Amino acid sequence: MSHSDTSTTLRPGESAASGRWPLRLWGALIVLCGALFLDALDTSMVGVALPSIRESLHLSTSSLQWVVSGYVLGYGGFLLLGGRAADLLGRRRVFLTALAVFAVASLLSGVVDDGSLLIATRFIKGVSAAFTAPAGLSIITTTFAEGPDRNRALSIYTTCGAAGFSLGLVLSGLLTEAGWRWTLLVPAPVAALILVLGSKLIDRDRPTSIDAASGAAGGKRGYDILGAISSTASVLLLVFGIVRAPDAGWLSPATLGTFAAAVALGVAFVVVELRVANPLVRLGVLRSPSLIRALIGGGLMFGGYASFQFVVTQYLQTLSKWSALHTALAFLPAGLIVLFSSFKIANVLNRFGTARVGVAGFAFLSLGYLQFLRIGDTPSWWVILPSVVALGLGFGMAFPAINVQAASGIADEEQGLVSGLLNTALQIGITVVLAASTAIIAANGGAGAKTNAQVLSSYRPVLVFVALATVAGLLILASGLLRGERTPVESTLAEELEDELDVLTLREQDVLIG
């Protein structure tokens, strides 16, 4: 695996084990972590502010939903294109350009007075995040050599994202007290600062291309325009159809037509990728079982947590009349656990492997969801706190494990593609599981519920559904353990250990003979 296109690649004397990463390399990693933290922060911050936004801009329930869904639509729809653009146009260039767009869109979203304009700016922010996220992840995976160095960098990177998602609720509660516009404005100066630092600390890289036959870097560079259009349109229609289905009806002609168009475009995309000289997605990369498990597991994990957060926020604010800040503080322990776990998770991954750590993480997540089923009409910290702690532990282990597993064994020139695939899976997981959870609430009388007991009874099936989805993710990751599969890094470490044992055995034989 070549790292020649990035001058910050670690040299032999600058290993993670010794902790001697150059200061500039630490600076670049902090910049990338800051961008991911900001993306995650922006995703979760708007949730607590929605009631204030609705009242201020006089939005209907369906319009208010699109304040969130617009971001998800832009993010999920353009991630594949964003990931491949990072490979073909240059990771640094794509990262910094998209970050600049994110900063401008953040500023505009905080000053508009029209609901449609707000939704439009949220969509643009989602699109820009769809380019910064895979570009940032691929910069890390091509800068840090596969093994302990990359595990350490990815563990810090991914836990910053998870912490941003959790702490965004707390920050949103604080900012909403001052005014909902602050939740949208704050990311603008932060993004501008990251942009300035990134232009100084992230080294330039050379754009690459993939030869369709060999999968190797080099050859004449080409852009798969048809693949970009068909894949983006397919994912956009899929996400749009899922988000709109609860209002339009899952079996309505509009919904079925949208899904049919998404499938048709998806089939067209596969046909194009099999025939084009330089495909947007080299389909051969999907032959990796560990990547497939990471994609499915990641989608189920993020979808489950988004649904849980939606239900708990409604439960605490609507049923129990908690303030936005009080509700946000309930999630604080999970964010802190994820944040502090980043200092040790790399050692855990190196020692036990991504599959075992991922399974353990999903086990904690499942336990947290099941624990919350004990909740009653009145909130109890004896139920909430153990659930949140379990979720913090689960997220802190599962998220880094999935990211490391997805990137393992992938060539540098396809890291942007893989990170785009992973982030797309996470966003589609959020969309599908959250839409299904909304449908479950409606099917259990949530829309017509008048008492706290009725509302709570409509929420419990969602908690069961989320727990089952998480257990399914656990089983999917565990299948790699049952088959005895190893990532390339784990196989290398195992071979080195076996060689060392062979040497020790020979020495013992010499001692006995002597």
Of 397, 352, 324, which Cα lies nearest the Cα of 162? 397
Total count of residues recorded for the chain: 514
Print the SS3 string covering 5-33: CECCCCCCCCCCCCCCCCHHHHHHHHHHH
What SS3 class is residue 299? helix
CA angle 203, 204, 208 (to 5 degrees): 130
User: What does the DSSP assignment read for 99-163?
Assistant: HHHHHHHHHHHTT---HHHHHHHHHHHHHHHHHHHHHHHHHHHHHSPTTHHHHHHHHHHHHHHHH
Interatomic CA distance for residues 334 and 308, integer angstroms: 13
Bridge partners of 6, per DSSP, are 205
- Rounded to 10 deg, the angle between the 115-143 and 415-443 helix axes is 140
Instruction: For the chain, report the end-to-end CA distance as a whole number of angstroms.
Output: 45
* Residue with the two structure tokens 């998800």: 72
pLDDT at site 180: 85
Residue 249: DSSP 8-state:
-
Residue 210: DSSP 8-state:
B
CA 390 to chain centroid: 19
What SS3 class is residue 207? coil
- Rounded to 10 deg, the angle between the 23-57 and 61-89 helix axes is 160
pLDDT at site 265: 93
Which run of H or E residues covers position 270?
helix 253-275
User: What does the DSSP assignment read for 344-391?
Assistant: THHHHHHHH-HHHHHHHHHHHHHHHHHHHTT--SS--HHHHHHHHHHH
Interatomic CA distance for residues 239 and 226, integer angstroms: 20
Interatomic CA distance for residues 421 and 460, integer angstroms: 32
| Whether 361 contacts 401, CB under 8 Å | yes
Is the pTM higher than 0.75? The answer reads: no
Per-residue pLDDT of the chain (514 residues; tens, 9 = 90+): 333 343 444 443 344 444 578 888 899 999 999 998 888 888 777 877 777 887 888 877 567 767 877 887 788 778 778 877 887 888 899 999 999 999 999 999 999 988 889 999 999 998 998 899 888 888 988 888 877 888 788 878 877 877 777 677 778 778 877 888 998 898 999 999 999 999 999 988 766 644 433 344 444 455 677 887 888 888 888 878 877 787 788 889 999 999 999 999 999 989 988 888 778 777 888 888 888 999 999 999 988 988 888 788 777 876 777 777 787 788 888 878 877 777 778 788 888 888 899 999 999 999 999 999 888 877 788 888 999 999 999 988 998 888 888 877 777 777 777 877 887 788 788 878 877 887 787 777 666 666 667 778 888 898 999 999 999 999 998 887 776 555 544 444 444 434 443 443 444 444 333 4
Q: Is 219 exposed, middle or buried (0-12, 13-18, 19+ CB in 10 A)?
A: middle
Contacts of 298 (CB under 8 A, 6+ apart): 399, 402, 406, 422, 425, 426, 429
Q: What sign does the CA torsion over 147, 207, 160, 40 have?
A: negative
Interatomic CA distance for residues 131 and 420, integer angstroms: 9
- Rounded to 10 deg, the angle between the 225-248 and 415-443 helix axes is 10
